[in-house]
Structure formats: structure tokens, C-alpha cells
Amino acid sequence: MNKILDIVTSKNLTYEQKVVALAHAAENSLEVLSIPERTHHYMDTGAICDLDEGHAPYRPRYIMPDYEKAVKNGCEFLQMEAPKDLDEVLQYLTILYRHVPSITSYPVYLGNIDKLIEPFLNGVTDEEAEKKLKLFLIYLDRTITDGFCHANLGPEETRAGRLILKLEKELQNAVPNLTLKYDKDITPDSYAELALYTSLYCANPAICNHKMHKDTYGDYGISSCYNILPIGGGSYTLARIVLPRLAAEAKGREQFLTELLPDCLSCMGDYMNERIRFLVEESNFFETSFLSTEGLISRDKFLAMFGVVGLAECTNMLMGDPQKTYGHNEEADDLAEQIMQVIADYAGSVKAVYSEVFDNHFALHAQVGIDSDHGITSGVRIPVGMEPELMYDHLRHSARFHKFFPTGCADIFSFDPTGRNNPAAMLDIVKGAFSLGDKYISFYASDSDLVRITGYLVKRSEMEKYYEGEAVLQNTVHLGGDNYRNAHLENRKVRGLQ
């Protein structure tokens, strides 16, 4: 019970953070999942990591409600009629968001926010709309105290989108994360440039390759750290295989590829199926949630994200040659691709239960890491501080590995502030990268207070408070603060410098 008392008496948790931590501790007092011995072994070594999702899943990890439908139909459970004007829609959404659960207990997805608002701007001046949207955005930032919350823009240009970009630049909020779905044939250059320009002031929005994601499952949204998921569904769970921890017990390259890796993948898949089974069959979530009963989500639109992390370190360990490293050597990259192919073949062949929306398979995800990771690089990224000299080489390398991941894989670039004078240059880079198959890019300015950690945003100034032991509003400041230090993110190579 000491852990419970620690939570209760903590000095750097807010009341709200304590409540969430206590709920988590209560959940973890249960043992309802059947976990075989072999799986326990991989969990003990850390090769399989459940991201501390809890021992008894009672809500999906990421929920992507169909907000368009909610706005159109109203919500019986919340006793709200369909909104008719800007005030009503903003209030409607803030109320609805409050009731969307997730693994963090906060909504991770706020919808295609520009399209939700756009129809209600008719007859409203920019000035009026800005005032209302500003209050709306401040409310979200201060009450959804979790940086994993995400809203989407585009690919079409909208007035609502322009106003939101303008306000975000001014407000410097960490919540929500924004992503622009970008398609060069739909998104006007000027709008994409505005988005990129804005990102060099407030690290938002990130840019998603719309062409590569639009047909994965129909309408999609981006939640949390670049999770590309079906709208009206989401992801039951996200477990991850921590490749370097597995490679630590390998008896050579061949044994890793043909025995150890397949065995661990199999254990992880079984474990994920067990989580899904409990959630769907025993937790009663889908039977009781109004989101489900009112059709804002549908069980058959959920899938399970199969996370991969640390490909770089794993490859380097198996290469065993400091001169031949991931991202810098063809032989190393070929081995990395071989490793990924084994993982992709597993995911493409094994049955994931209750995953109709993804053809009953697990969906690979380049997991971006967690605060406690030391020496483990996000997904398939090149380690911070080891980036190729030339950004173009970096992006070509990314394209080679992004292709394995339907549910999200991204790169983060710290960019020189001179880019603000020439956002068209950044758009050229994005266009080039997307034409090669890069799926997702985000930028922040090397001098900006807001920095992107692994996917979410945190303010450097808030991290400083956390380092001093103060309580801070957003729980992601804890995660980001530790991650920033452990992963030495201050060493991220600055691009666009001359």
C-alpha cells in the first residue's frame, strides 16, 4: 500500500493527476488476463512492454468518435440537441469531449476540428469567430491536461482552419496537438505554407501525408502521437516490442531473425489478443458507453496497434560494428529492413481478434517511446545526435522504413528559425519527402518554447518547473521532462541551418 500512500501524499501531482494514478493502482490490483510463462519472461526483460496500460482493460486505448455524426444528430445521453450556431457547437463539443475516455482518461482525439466548426461560421465575422474560438482553445488547453490530445485540419483549406492556426500561433498552447492532413492536389500551397510557418512559432501543426493514409480504412483521424486510426473506431490497445531488449538475448543475427524474434512476436500477439478479448467480452464497455449505443463509435471499427520501437539500436547491436550503423550504412539498413519484414510478415499473417476494420490483423505502429526509455530510439527513427548530415538523406531513409507502418510513423525536425521567412522552402521539403513515401513530418523552431518530445508537445518553461519539483498542469510535462533528459533531445540536429 506504500505506492498508494505515495500517490496520495505526492507533492508534484495535482489533485486530478492523483485521482487518475489511484484509479490505475486499483486496476493493477486485479489479475484477470491470462499470461503464459514465456510472455512473462519477455515482459520481465522488457522486450514486450504493455506501456502500463493496466491489468484489466475497461476502455479502448484510443477512441476516435464520429464527431460529425454527433454534431449532426445531437446526443441523447448528454441531453443535447444538434447545435445550430457557433456558440452552440463549441459548447456541444467541449461537453462531448469531457465524456470521451482513453487510456489517459482524457480524449486523445477531438475530430477534424476545422470541418466541425466551418459550417457554423456563416454570417460570423472573423473578429467574432476569433474571440469565441480563442476561448474554446484556451478551455481545451487548460482542462484537457494531457498532451496526447490531438485535433486535425485539412486537407481542404477552411476559414476555421486559418483562424485556428492564427490563434495557436498567438496562444502557444500545448493542447491540442494539431495535424494538417496534406495532399498537394487538394491543399493549396498558401495554406500549407501558413501551417508550416505557424509550426515554427508553436510547433503545431504537424503534417500528415494524406495520399498515403486516405485509403487505409476510409475516413481516418490522427490521435495522440501520430496514431492513424479509423474514425468511429480506434485502437483497443498498443503494446510494443522493444527490439534492443530482445536483441540482448540473441545468439547471433540468424537466431534473432528466425527464432527469437518470431517467438517474441507470437507472445506479444497472443497477449494483445487477450487484452482485446477481455475488453470486448468482459468489460462491458461497448455495451454500456453512450458513444457506442448512440453509434458515435462502433466495435467493428476498432483495431489493435502493434508497436515497434528501437529498430536503430537493435540493428546496431546485431551488426556489432561501430562503423556500420543504422541510417549510415547500407548493410545495416538492409538488416533493419529484414527485421522489419519479419515483423510485417507476422502482423500480416496472424489473426487479431475483433479487428474486422483491419482485415483481422494487427496494425503496425512505430511507437515513439516513453519517458523511461534509455538508449532506445523512437520507432524506426535514427537516434538523436546521429542524424545524417543532410536532411534529404534523412528523409530518404525515413521513406524506406515508414512504408511498414499503416497506423503512424513520423519524424520530428528541429528547424532553424530563418525558415519563418521562407515557409515555401519547408513545403518543398515536405512535398519531396511525401513523394518518396514519408508519411508524417513535424517541425518546431530550434528557439521555440514549445518542443515536440516524441510526438506530443511540452513547453521548455514547464519542464523547468517540473525539474524544480513543482506541480504542473499537464501530466505530459512529467513524461516529456524525463524523456527530454533521457533521450537528450536538446541534441536533435537543427535543419535548415547554413
Partner 1 sequence: MKAAINKMIPLSVVDGPGCRTAVFVQGCNIACAYCHNPETQRLCNGCGICVSQCPAGALSLSGKNVIWDEAVCTQCDHCIRVCPNYASPKVRWMEAVDVWEQISKNIPFIQGITVSGGECGLYPEFITELFTLAGNAGLSCFLDSNGCVDFTKHPKLMAVTDKVMLDVKAWDSQVFHRLTGKDNSVVKKNLNYLAKVGKLYEVRLVCLDGESSSGPSEDKEVDMEDVIRGVAAEVNPYLEDFKLKLITFRNYGVRGKMENRKSPTQNQMEKLKELAVQCGFKEIQIV
> Any idea which residue has 466541425 for its cell?
116
Q: Does 427 bind partner 1 (CB under 8 A)?
A: yes
Of 7, 51, 344, 436, the one binding partner 1 (CB under 8 A) is 436
Alpha-carbon distance values, 50 to 41, 46, 47, 109, 233 (Å):
13, 9, 10, 21, 21
Which among 70-78, 173-181, 309-317, 388-396 is the span making contact with partner 1, rule CB under 8 A? 388-396
Query: Cβ closer to partner 1: 127 or 330?
Result: 330
Of 156, 337, 356, 416, the one binding partner 1 (CB under 8 A) is 416
Q: Compute the least distance from the CB of residue 184 to partner 1, in Å.
A: 11
CA 350 to chain centroid, in Å, comes to 24
Phi, psi of 470 (to 5 degrees): -85, 155
CA distance 324 to 308: 22
Alpha-carbon distance values, 73 to 67, 84, 92, 164 (Å):
10, 11, 12, 25
Which among 4-12, 275-283, 285-293, 389-397 is the span making contact with partner 1, rule CB under 8 A? 389-397
Number of residues that bind partner 1 (CB under 8 A): 23
Query: Cβ closer to partner 1: 353 or 436?
Result: 436
Of 65, 307, 419, 481, the one binding partner 1 (CB under 8 A) is 419
Q: Does 428 bind partner 1 (CB under 8 A)?
A: yes
Residue length of the chain:
498
Q: Compute the least distance from the CB of residue 183 to partner 1, in Å.
A: 16
Which among 96-104, 279-287, 400-408, 429-437 is the span making contact with partner 1, rule CB under 8 A? 429-437
Amino acid at 128: E
Contact 272, 362 (CB under 8 A): yes
Query: Cβ closer to partner 1: 201 or 354?
Result: 201
Q: Does 433 bind partner 1 (CB under 8 A)?
A: yes
Cross-strand partners of 314:
none
Where do runs of H (alpha helix) occur along 49-125? 67-73, 86-97, 113-117
Of 293, 385, 392, 464, the one binding partner 1 (CB under 8 A) is 392
Which among 276-284, 375-383, 427-435, 467-475 is the span making contact with partner 1, rule CB under 8 A? 427-435
CA distance 183 to 210: 5
User: What is the helix (H) or strand (E) element at residue 219, kind and residue range?
Assistant: none
Binding mask 166-205 for partner 1 (x = CB under 8 A): ----------------------------------------
Alpha-carbon distance values, 374 to 169, 316, 336 (Å):
33, 15, 20
> Any idea which residue has 510494443 for its cell?
240
Alpha-carbon distance values, 174 to 61, 239, 471 (Å):
21, 26, 17
Of 282, 390, 467, 491, the one binding partner 1 (CB under 8 A) is 390
User: What is the helix (H) or strand (E) element at residue 473, kind and residue range?
Assistant: none
Of 80, 424, 471, 494, the one binding partner 1 (CB under 8 A) is 424
Of 75, 279, 426, 458, the one binding partner 1 (CB under 8 A) is 426
Cross-strand partners of 444:
414
170: left (phi over 0), alpha (psi -120 to 50) or beta: alpha
CA distance 98 to 450: 25
Closest CA to 381 of 398, 404, 369: 398
Of 429, 473, 477, 489, the one binding partner 1 (CB under 8 A) is 429
Q: Does 435 bind partner 1 (CB under 8 A)?
A: yes
Of 304, 311, 391, 473, the one binding partner 1 (CB under 8 A) is 391
Of 176, 244, 327, 496, the one binding partner 1 (CB under 8 A) is 496
Q: Compute the least distance from the CB of residue 443 to partner 1, in Å.
A: 12
CA distance 140 to 135: 9
> Sign of torsion, CA 299 301 304 305?
negative
Q: Compute the least distance from the CB of residue 329 to partner 1, in Å.
A: 18
Q: Compute the least distance from the CB of residue 193 to partner 1, in Å.
A: 10
Of 432, 437, 460, 494, the one binding partner 1 (CB under 8 A) is 432
Query: Cβ closer to partner 1: 137 or 441?
Result: 441
Query: Cβ closer to partner 1: 195 or 473?
Result: 195
Closest CA to 303 of 233, 365, 383: 233
Q: Point out which residues bind partner 1 (CB under 8 A).
A: 390-392, 395, 416, 418-419, 421-422, 424-429, 431-433, 435-436, 495-496, 498
